[in-house]
Amino acid sequence: MPTRPYLFHGLTNSLCSRCLGKVEAKIIFQDGGVHLLKHCPVHGREQVLIADDIDYYRQTQAFIKPGDMPLRFNTPIRHGCPYDCGLCPDHEQHSCLTLIELTDRCNLNCPICYADSGSDQTDSHQQIRRHRDLATIERMLDAVVANEGEPQVVQLSGGEPTIHPEFFNVLDLAKARPIKHLMVNTNGIRIAHDPTFAETLAGYAPGLEIYLQFDSFEEAALRELRGADLRSVRQQAIERLNALGLSTTLVVTLKKGLNDHEIGRIIDYALAQPCVRGVTFQPIQAAGRLEGFEPERDRYTLSEVRRAILEQSPHFKPQDLLPVPCHPDALAMAYALKLGDQVVPLTGLFDASSYVEMVPNAIIYEQQPELKQRILDLYSTSHSPASAATSLKQLLCCLPLMQVPEGLTYTNVFRVMIVQFMDAYNFDVRSVKRSCIHIVHPDGRLIPFDTYNLFYREGSAGEGVIAALNQAATTTTWSEPDLVLADPTATP
Ligand code: SF4
Ligand code: SF4
């Protein structure tokens, strides 16, 4: 009797990458990898690699915890996930990070841009690119506050947010709200070229972080990803941010075979910059403008990025680079302390339920009593000096609460993250319900980043799918409250 060439692990729903219709998907283990095996009644069979490391994939499934709910949901359940965003009451996670797009315009024209932004008047669908007006932006900020109360992280994005003519008025509006951490997602051109702008920006710290595009040291890779040689721009921007002491995260968009060999070098560079608090690695999501991108050839999975970090950076071991519990399929993270030339990974300690379990990780600093003491101090929640206002928990809401001991500040913390957004290839309904990175629609809905770029962005590939579903639904009588209040005891 023949045997299947794979191990059937589970079942989920995905999307057909051609028509974006919802299809059943088997999760299978084959040849050391995890794959989705899908069947679309119209377009047939499709097999997609979603992880190249079965053990790590299994680990992600063990890193889940009950989701935190928003204070309200925004849309009713009508068509089923992912066609009801959102957030609909079936969503399992609040917004850890919310993007507010200030503009469709940009001072670059990257060949890959999920937002289809650029410097021309119109986008590829002949829609006019606009700056959002202040009243709309204010409504979007209020929508986040209404959902979250005190939003953890709000990221001003675009297009290129720093070219918005009322950018500092937007910052004033954001600062006037109870947002714990504000980020500016930027390509760095304005920071590099406009010292007055950068100095004014620095005046909004603390509580402000620059999320700086930083993909490569190589001209060819930059031209392929960004359409321009940005090496000197990056250098000038970093020099200015160092001089201003403005907290910065480097954001690396990864294309398989193009810039993935630079991962270790980028981490080393980041560690040497006083302003840099961490690096986020983000494989390209197959959505929006994708010139020169062939999904079958160029898609890169989270576990492959994790493997590359472990191979290229001597600072992190497998136990240090862990799934993030709020959305373990899509997020992996390592925290470390920067202490002079020393880099001490911390994340491997987080799941230690007892000191005995901590010992293997403690070996690194067992020989260094001072370091050992400083790490152990991190576990003292009673130790809360006024000089260290930042707790590690504030950096990412799903971590255990730990206070930073005296003498250590946010400048000592270094964070490596992998963020993988789903596209029509690796889409998994089970996983997208846990998405905690959301984009505010101008109408006030908060929509997972993954589904926003597939279905809800103007001009997105799946816009017509949603329109057709809504059109069909007009023949049905729905009882739809405008806002469905979150009730933890209710089953949607
Ligand atoms: S992704 Fe979340 S918000 Fe969107 S339809 Fe699914 S459960 Fe609802
Ligand atoms: S990816 Fe960013 S920098 Fe590039 S065109 Fe789009 S918005 Fe501009």
Which ligand 2 atom minimizes the distance to the CA of 109?
A: 5
**Nearest ligand (C-alpha, residue 106):** 2
What average pLDDT does the structure give for the chain? 85
CA of 422 to the centre of ligand 1 (A): 13
What phi, psi does 37 have (nearest 5°)? -115, 110
Confidence at residue 137, expressed as pLDDT on a 0 to 100 scale: 98
Average pLDDT over residues 296-311: 95
Whether residue 147 contacts residue 122, with contact meaning beta carbons closer than 8 Å, is answered with no
Distances (CA, A) of 369 to 363, 365, 366, 373, 402: 11, 7, 6, 6, 21
pLDDT(157) > 70: yes
CA of 160 to the centre of ligand 2 (A): 6
Average pLDDT over residues 19-39: 97
Higher local confidence (pLDDT), 481 or 328 = 328
CA of 441 to the centre of ligand 1 (A): 14
Query: 112-116, 150-154, 329-333, 385-389: which range is least confident on average?
Result: 385-389
Average pLDDT over residues 286-299: 88
Which ligand 1 atom minimizes the distance to the CA of 73?
A: 3
pLDDT(490) > 60: no
Confidence at residue 479, expressed as pLDDT on a 0 to 100 scale: 46
What phi, psi does 457 have (nearest 5°)? -75, 140
Confidence at residue 361, expressed as pLDDT on a 0 to 100 scale: 23
pLDDT(176) > 60: yes
Give the tens place of pLDDT for each residue, 381-399: 333 333 333 444 444 444 4
d(CA 400, CA 453): 32
**Nearest ligand (C-alpha, residue 159):** 2
d(CA 318, CA 322): 8
Confidence at residue 66, expressed as pLDDT on a 0 to 100 scale: 82
Give the tens place of pLDDT for each residue, 359-368: 222 222 233 4
Average pLDDT over residues 132-139: 97
195-202 and 231-244 helices, crossing angle to 10°: 40
Which ligand 1 atom minimizes the distance to the CA of 90?
A: 7
Average pLDDT over residues 401-410: 52
pLDDT(405) > 70: no
| Ligand 2 pocket check for 222: Cβ under 6 Å | no
State both tokens at 231.
């090496």
Confidence at residue 312, expressed as pLDDT on a 0 to 100 scale: 97
| Ligand 2 pocket check for 102: Cβ under 6 Å | no
CA of 185 to the centre of ligand 2 (A): 10
Query: 142-156, 408-422, 441-455: which range is least confident on average?
Result: 408-422
**Nearest ligand (C-alpha, residue 233):** 2
Torsion angle, CA of 74/76/80/83, rounded to 10 degrees?
-50
Which ligand 2 atom minimizes the distance to the CA of 112?
A: 1
- Indicate which residue's Cα is closest to atom 4 of ligand 1: 85
Give the tens place of pLDDT for each residue, 187-235: 999 999 999 999 999 999 988 999 999 999 999 999 999 999 999 999 9
Give the H or E element holding residue 342.
Answer: strand 342-345
| Ligand 1 pocket check for 94: Cβ under 6 Å | no
302-312 and 54-62 helices, crossing angle to 10°: 110
Q: Which of 348, 330, 346 has the alpha carbon at shortest distance from 338?
A: 346
Whether residue 380 contacts residue 358, with contact meaning beta carbons closer than 8 Å, is answered with no
Confidence at residue 391, expressed as pLDDT on a 0 to 100 scale: 45
Tell me how many helices (H) and strands (E) the chain has.
Answer: 16, 20
pLDDT(96) > 60: yes
d(CA 153, CA 144): 10
d(CA 340, CA 117): 40
